[in-house]
Structure 1
Amino acid sequence: MALTEEDKRLEEAKAGKAPWRKFGPYLSERQWGTVREDYSPGGTAWEYLPHDEARSRAYRWGEDGIAGISDESQYMCFALSFWNGKDPILKERLFGLTGNEGNHGEDVKEVYFYLDNLPSHAYMKYLYKYPQNPYPYTDLVETNKKRTREQPEYELIDTGIFDKDEYFDIFIEYAKSNPEDILIRIRVENRGEREAPLTLLPTLWFRNVWSWKEGVKKPTIALENEGCLRAQHPWLGQYRLLFKGADETLFTENETNMERLFNAESASPFVKDAFHRYLIDGDRTAVNPAKTGTKAAPLYRITVPGKSGSTIEMRLVKSTSALEPDLVDQETVFKTRIQEADAFYSSITPFPLSDDMRLVQRQAFAGLLWNKQCYIYSVKDWLKGDPLQPKPPKCREEGRNQHWPYFEVRDIFSMPDKWEYPWFASWDLAFHAVSLAMIDPEFAKSQMILLTREWTMAPNGQIPAYEWCFSDVNPPVQAWASMRIYQIEAKRHGTKDCSFLERMFQKLLLNFTWWVNRKDAEGRNIFEGGFLGLDNIGAFDRSLAPPSGGILLQQDGTGWMGMYCLNMLQIALELATNDPVYEDMASKFFEHFVHIANAINNVTEQQEGLWDKEDGFYHSMLIQPDGKRILLRQDNMAGIIPLFAVATNDAYVPKQFPDFKKRFRWFADHKPEMLTNIADMTKLGQEGRVLLAFANQTKMTRTLKKILHPDEFLSPYGIRSVSKKHEKHPFSIELSGKKFFLDYEPAESTCGLFGGNSNWRGPVWFPLNYLLIESLQKFDHYYGCDFKVECPTGSGNMKSLWEVSQDLTKRLISVFLKDQDGRRPLWGENTKFQTDPHFRDYLFFHEYFHGDNGKGLGASNQTGWTAIVAKLICQLAEYNPKEAEKKKEHVH
């Protein structure tokens, strides 16, 4: 396949020939309210630095802005600010409710879309919808405050602010002429009938790194001449921001307004919130008349006619001489970059696709790339405080993340969502990376490596979970993601990066050992794990000890560990092709898998297996302090996860790896009792394949009967996270005199267990649906097309497991696609989003989706793991039923 221009840029970046990745969308969309910026005694991050103080306080660990970019170390930042002449606040950052204000947790209250982006960020496009009438801050806060968990969230669209089309569509585009020459185009479209005023401040500033310790040189931005800002940084060097037609230029310092916040003297008379005070309060003394500072903006006051638009062009360029060229021919550069983006994405999915599918896939990739963020955090420095700042209270030493003093990161992470989740989460990141591998395998690999570096991974092998508590436990999906990234890169580029695979294998050995030692402390080969990312999926909070004491043996924790064994086995066999040492490691993980598989399936009076013969499903088991065992018959996604523990070995494996074959045969000959309850490892399937799986044919079929039943797990839009049967028949249990319940809730959770803004009680979540689809394809790889199950259950339609996987794929994708009436399920009953030509083709990629009607729920721009829809579209398009065995993508 011929390289596209974007492929060439990525090759140049990889080879160190051109720093195409130096600038990108690395600016957060919310730095306030984060753990990093929290210096409170009690760890009250939301209250310590709220939105109202964000404009006045210099951040310690990062910056935020709207449609912003920065360099990789986030020394220099650029973003957009707006004022419609009526708002009480200059719109410098996105507004939303804190975790304690929202009736379902934190929630951004803005409408913005990620429209396009390239892995090199040579082209980027973003859309922000800004009302022309006063922004309803008070209404959003007060109305949500009055709502209960049983009521839906009150969103910006619900206020009626867009009803008369009195708003601006503000399109922000970036195109790189070269890696350090960035053209900026801001197009404002007035969607209303009447002309309307708008003030724009395209703002350039430096992150404050000088207020925390002695001896740090301060950068400067100065007005070089009319239409040119000169930005000088001791490490970045010199840049210029070129512009035309500004009404004036404003300057201040990125310093905390101590007078406003603490009634104390500020380090400078010109502080961070100067532009707000200058415009909103009319304070002419707020900005520096000397036209110098660390934060600057050309100011444009424009009046946009109704149903018309206005364009502003700028250029941010590395300075290599005293004189710089003008704004150059922007139209040509933008046109070229857009054409190159079209060519690149056409090469990613070169199969027949509908225009609507391409739109969904393109915006999924755009959201994934826009949600990159420069993440800076030194736990040691955060705990002890900075030399030039007040010493933190003593109790901080015993506070959040105290056991992670070695965690020290300044790097680019793929975030779940740069407003609602502007911090990495380890299992989210694995799904991001698999999607990213389709378009940028180098970055995808870097993400997996980041999680296992010595400055992130604990010395004992634990991978940090997420910022609010690094010590929490997320599902161990990094080995799966590493192998998938390796396979995707090999398929697309024809290169096998064995060094990456080996690097990950060595570090994941430590993590696997940590899991075995910490989550199976008594050596049962059945695992605990806590909430494991499924925040409120059970009747009681799994992040705490069971209400009655004792131990909770988890089918999902055990399923993840079985899957982990097989992932590591698969990697070991791949590496053993070049290094026979890894053949021994493959044998080790095979043996461990057999022990875990035997334990989860061995249901006797003496054994604590989790397979429920009566119900035909995997359930968790509560072992009470008196030794009594209770099988918790909760039909939820946790019971499906054991199906993920599946792999097939092709016929060549025994011939190529004779030592592995010996270990395999030894188990079959000497410990047949351990194999009786699991997949028959001695029986050959299609083309001589061997199946390794927790579930034999009977267990797998019985589990699928539930999964594919429309009155249980099967939704028109994928697999629900809790069976719909619990709607009429909730699960209940009494422990220590208190009753606990699990019912079916297809939309937002009314339960506050662990995470009140999260909901695994019924909606459809894309990542685990994706793993189920892969698992079905693996089973099909062994059983072949002659093995069929009823799908949907009760329909009489018999389908092969591959056909079932395709059916589920289509259901998931249909969440985003227009139906026969031109309506997208994710928009629900929102007429504006469904029908308005300026809304209907811009997409949100929600955290999860309504289990019955497919409406988008949770974080509206959590493109991170929901972007896996782009991979599903590719797999669906690539599959040719007439050449199934040749064309379908098997994951052995």
Structure 2
Amino acid sequence: MTEENIRLSQEENRAKNWKRWGPYLSERQWGTVREDYSDHGNSWAAFPHDQARRRAYRWGEDGLQGWCDRGCRLCFAPALWNGKDSILKERLFGLGGNEGNHGEDVKECYYYLDSTPTHSYTKALYKYPQQKYPYTQIRIENERLGRLGPEMELADTGIFDDNLYFDVVQEVAKRSPQDILWRITVTNRAATSAPLHILPTLWLRNTWSWGTDLDAPAVKPSIIQEGDGLFIDHESLGKFRFHAGTDQARPKKAEWLFTENDTNHEALGGMKNGTPYTKDAFHRYIIQGEKKAVSPKKAGTKSALYYLFQVPAGESVTIYCRLHHINESNRINGLDQFNETVDQRLKEADEFYNEVIPPGISEDEKLICRQGYAGLLWTKQFFFYSVEDWLKGDKEMPEPPANRLLGRNHDWKHFYAKNILSMPDKWEYPWFAAWDTAFHMLPFCAVDSAFSKHQLLLLLREWYMHPNGQLPAYEWNFSDVNPPVHAWAVWRVYKIADRKGERDLLFLEKAFQKLLMNFTWWVNRKDLDGRHVFGGGFLGLDNIGVFDRSHALPGGGYLQQADGTAWMGFYCLTMLSMALELALTKPAYEDIASKFFEHFVNICDAINTLGGNGLWDVQDQFYYDQLIIDDEAPIPLRIRSLVGLLPLSAVTVLKQKTIDALPGFRKRMDWFLTNKPDLLKYVTANRVPGKKSSGRVLLAIPSQERLRQSLTYMLDPKEFLSNFGIRSLSKAHDDHPFIFQYAGATHQVQYTPGEATTDMFGGNSNWRGPIWFPTNFILIEALERYYYFYGDTFKIEYPTGSGVECTLRDIAIDICDRLISLFTKNEEGYRPCFGDSETSKRYSDDEHWKDLLLFHEYFHGETGEGLGASHQTGWTALVVRLVRERREKLTEEGFC
């Protein structure tokens, strides 16, 4: 057992609190719903970036790859100034949702390079330009480019040309749970020396300004100078000491600065300041030369050791910081034995990942895995949001507008979160999203199965889940409807977290009980006619459809959704599998398993035969949504998209020996099929003659014939099959867009391989043509299940039109390879995920960039270039799972 495994065990058994501290700070707290107290609800405009340095946050903190305790009481992050920028670099800059030409977008270059699951060792890189940061240029140019132009990124400005930048590498190591070491190494990549102001900063989250008991301490916490370091006193966190130093013999400047983490109301044009020493004091002191901005008392709630270096060309300076509880000094003084500890933790991280990352894969794939796990672990974040208190406002602050009580999330007053959560992206999406979390937990499970289980159960707790059974979607609108994938994630984590025979039945049962409530909510709310055909609204598909499904549809109609119905079939089968597993030791679950079996068969019948052919279009041989307006005949929306492919995912294979081991379930299953023989066509058995309890039973929405017809589209390069995976929208809609006209209005869907050209959903997401990891992963799993049942007897032309027939297993493996190839170097030495622009080639040609990876939100359907959120490590880290499963498929016959 590695040292990191021992730490994980100690944490899980509560012997030692190794996860009390971590990289839990958001990369962006400004512009979030939580910090929006406006009457218009535009959170980007309510709290813009320009206010972030002056205005204290109510619900969290942000910093430059910062750290904090799990309650975000005490925070640490470096601040930087190159001597030319207009502001101190304390946080990442980007364009808000109302500024970017494709929605919100961070405009910085930073990378999560390493982390163990207990954060006993972490490493991150920030590339800080030596020239003045082009804030205005980026805003103006993205506005000029408009929706049809590409995003202008920081590198596109030429600011990194001639290597005029610093590499700022932050390594953190824990000597013990509350003895933490930061080693910050700054390297000048330019050919000439350059000045750098660097401030390792320690501050306390403001919990004292709001006049509420929600999080307020009885005694205001403090940071005071004690000798050559700091003493921190916090009533709930405890007492700590902080030490800092440098390897430079004589920095040009080194002094302690102090202020308060309080809003500068006067600078914002508001009321009088409560203290002359405000949050922006260090910015004013260093950049504006205001000597009285900092406190002379050498005490406050925010402090930094201010260094100024002249960094020689190609050389580095290093700063060392240590924070430890006064009772956890480990008998080590100050910064003694610093490098030895950091280097030892790195060695232990290597040992841990040597066990986690499968052997026999390429060096490129090992790099993908290591940085994929790092991104997952770095994007854990402290998330604090009490909806009832947020709606009411704070005693010491202006009263919120009256319309707030009827606005966003007003019907989620029970919601209370104060946890470390897995985020999609700590800048672009610094709030949890329920269905993102589900996908995150699969790759997470390989490094920290306890965390995966905890996260999945947490969203089912009564302070998250609505009393009516709905799961909260995301902070922007908890009531939005996301695909019901939570049960699938629970089931997958249950199976992969532990060895067979040692699985966590208690975890499975806890989740199952709450998921029953969520399933009932879906049935009661989203099956309008009670005919097993589901709507569901948004369902995560953004602008893939012809209109926004979350809002009123043409003619006041409603949709019978192929994807909504498929997701419910998928949900049914997952719940059936879970119920059967529980029934093996608890027979009472046989009854509920029978219910899910019956429900699934009815869904199959509805999607395939309701009204004649259900949602299957005989003309095109594909599943489509249908629009129902008044009493008119259903209108098929003939858009070939993921909507029509998702019915393939509703498939499972039951082992006959499992069915025979549950006599109550088998009896009810046989009765159902005997009394409803017309539904037998949805249950396909493959048994070995003469062998009792042998064989398998297939449950699937499409028949074998419809499976073939659907796959013919999916595996066609002219339709869905890209060099990098399955497209979200058929390429056929490039030359032949889908046009829908009703009541004088025209709606159109056209294949767009890259960023959105429409304002639907703000234009910040685009599933119309790009490659999207979550659905690719689910479709690959479906192919595996079909192969598990049909084996080599089912072959199909792959790619369509090639004349070559392959098994579904071979096809699943090849699609895995296509997705993995987004990140691996091609024949020209370039990684497709970085595109083919001149500025992107530095990721292959420059030794200081070439081994850096980003896990984008989605990818261009033709070139594979990464698009959307640049650090969407959560669901795109599924590539790590694919690397693992790709290896297992080669070594385990019939892997499923």
TM-score range, shorter chain: over 0.9
Alignment of 1:875 with 2:875, yes or no, is: no
Of 135, 142, 145 in structure 2, the residue corresponding to residue 144 of structure 1 is 142
Partner of 2:233: 232
Superposed CA deviations along residues 399-449 of structure 1, whole A, max 9, x for unmatched, are 110000000110011000000000000100000011111110110011111
Of 750, 766, 783 in structure 2, the residue corresponding to residue 776 of structure 1 is 783
| In structure 1, C-alpha distance between the alignment counterparts of 2:501 and 2:669, rounded to whole Å | 31
One-letter amino acid of the counterpart of residue 42, structure 1: H
Alignment of 1:538 with 2:542, yes or no, is: no
Partner of 1:657: 662
Q: Which runs of 5+ in 1 are unaligned?
A: none
Number of residues paired by the alignment?
A: 879
2:685–2:696 contact (8 Å) kept in structure 1 = no
| In structure 2, C-alpha distance between the alignment counterparts of 1:759 and 1:51, rounded to whole Å | 25
Of 333, 344, 366 in structure 2, the residue corresponding to residue 336 of structure 1 is 344
2:835–2:864 contact (8 Å) kept in structure 1 = yes
Alignment of 1:801 with 2:801, yes or no, is: no
Partner of 2:755: 748
Alignment of 1:99 with 2:108, yes or no, is: no
**Structure 2 matches for 1:26-175, cutoff 5 A?**
26-175=24-173
One-letter amino acid of the counterpart of residue 866, structure 1: T
Of 470, 473, 476 in structure 1, the residue corresponding to residue 478 of structure 2 is 470
Deviation at 1:611, TM superposition (A): 1.2
Superposed CA deviations along residues 643-681 of structure 1, whole A, max 9, x for unmatched, are 1110000121122011111222223222121233x3535
One-letter amino acid of the counterpart of residue 221, structure 2: P
Q: Which runs of 5+ in 2 are unaligned?
A: 247-252
One-letter amino acid of the counterpart of residue 497, structure 2: E
| In structure 1, C-alpha distance between the alignment counterparts of 2:427 and 2:328, rounded to whole Å | 39
One-letter amino acid of the counterpart of residue 470, structure 1: F
Deviation at 1:170, TM superposition (A): 0.4
Of 651, 659, 662 in structure 2, the residue corresponding to residue 646 of structure 1 is 651
Superposed CA deviations along residues 731-757 of structure 1, whole A, max 9, x for unmatched, are 111012111111110000101112411
**Aligned in 2, Cα 1:321/1:165: closer, same or farther, shift over 3 Å?**
closer
| Bigger mean CA deviation after superposition, 212-221 or 150-159 | 212-221
One-letter amino acid of the counterpart of residue 388, structure 1: E
**Aligned in 2, Cα 1:632/1:681: closer, same or farther, shift over 3 Å?**
farther
Deviation at 1:856, TM superposition (A): 0.5
| In structure 2, C-alpha distance between the alignment counterparts of 1:660 and 1:613, rounded to whole Å | 36
Partner of 1:451: 459
Partner of 1:845: 855
One-letter amino acid of the counterpart of residue 122, structure 1: S
2:193–2:312 contact (8 Å) kept in structure 1 = yes
| In structure 2, C-alpha distance between the alignment counterparts of 1:263 and 1:763, rounded to whole Å | 45
Of 492, 504, 526 in structure 2, the residue corresponding to residue 497 of structure 1 is 504
Partner of 1:213: 211
| Bigger mean CA deviation after superposition, 364-373 or 826-835 | 826-835
Matched position secondary structure for 2:175? strand
Deviation at 1:607, TM superposition (A): 4.7
Deviation at 1:479, TM superposition (A): 0.5
Q: Return the TM-score normalized by structure 2.
A: 0.96
**Structure 2 matches for 1:178-193, cutoff 5 A?**
178-193=176-191
Deviation at 1:494, TM superposition (A): 6.3
Partner of 1:408: 416
| In structure 2, C-alpha distance between the alignment counterparts of 1:101 and 1:674, rounded to whole Å | 54
Deviation at 1:783, TM superposition (A): 0.4
Alignment of 1:680 with 2:684, yes or no, is: yes
Could you tell me the percent identity over the aligned residues?
A: 52
Deviation at 1:787, TM superposition (A): 1.6
Deviation at 1:628, TM superposition (A): 2.2
Partner of 2:268: 261
Matched position secondary structure for 1:261? coil
2:68–2:75 contact (8 Å) kept in structure 1 = yes
| Bigger mean CA deviation after superposition, 493-502 or 354-363 | 493-502
| In structure 2, C-alpha distance between the alignment counterparts of 1:807 and 1:687, rounded to whole Å | 31
One-letter amino acid of the counterpart of residue 619, structure 2: E
**Structure 2 matches for 1:358-373, cutoff 5 A?**
358-373=366-381
| In structure 2, C-alpha distance between the alignment counterparts of 1:372 and 1:541, rounded to whole Å | 31
Deviation at 1:878, TM superposition (A): 2.2
Of 623, 631, 638 in structure 2, the residue corresponding to residue 618 of structure 1 is 623
Partner of 1:195: 193
Q: Return the TM-score normalized by structure 1.
A: 0.97
Partner of 1:714: 721
One-letter amino acid of the counterpart of residue 188, structure 1: V
| Bigger mean CA deviation after superposition, 472-481 or 313-322 | 313-322
**Aligned in 2, Cα 1:80/1:687: closer, same or farther, shift over 3 Å?**
farther
Partner of 1:577: 584
2:55–2:263 contact (8 Å) kept in structure 1 = yes
| In structure 2, C-alpha distance between the alignment counterparts of 1:683 and 1:725, rounded to whole Å | 41
Superposed CA deviations along residues 830-873 of structure 1, whole A, max 9, x for unmatched, are 22223111112101100000001111111111111100111000
Partner of 2:434: 426
| In structure 2, C-alpha distance between the alignment counterparts of 1:428 and 1:766, rounded to whole Å | 11
Matched position secondary structure for 2:874? helix
Matched position secondary structure for 2:543? coil
Matched position secondary structure for 1:235? coil
Matched position secondary structure for 1:268? coil
Of 877, 880, 884 in structure 1, the residue corresponding to residue 893 of structure 2 is 884
| In structure 2, C-alpha distance between the alignment counterparts of 1:726 and 1:305, rounded to whole Å | 56
2:282–2:294 contact (8 Å) kept in structure 1 = yes
Deviation at 1:324, TM superposition (A): 6.4
Matched position secondary structure for 1:454? coil
**Aligned in 2, Cα 1:321/1:843: closer, same or farther, shift over 3 Å?**
closer
| In structure 1, C-alpha distance between the alignment counterparts of 2:421 and 2:321, rounded to whole Å | 28
| In structure 1, C-alpha distance between the alignment counterparts of 2:595 and 2:856, rounded to whole Å | 40
2:97–2:762 contact (8 Å) kept in structure 1 = no
Superposed CA deviations along residues 52-109 of structure 1, whole A, max 9, x for unmatched, are 0010000000000011011001011101110000000000000000001000000000
**Aligned in 2, Cα 1:834/1:350: closer, same or farther, shift over 3 Å?**
closer
Partner of 2:560: 553
| In structure 2, C-alpha distance between the alignment counterparts of 1:60 and 1:860, rounded to whole Å | 27
Partner of 2:299: 292
| In structure 2, C-alpha distance between the alignment counterparts of 1:555 and 1:48, rounded to whole Å | 39
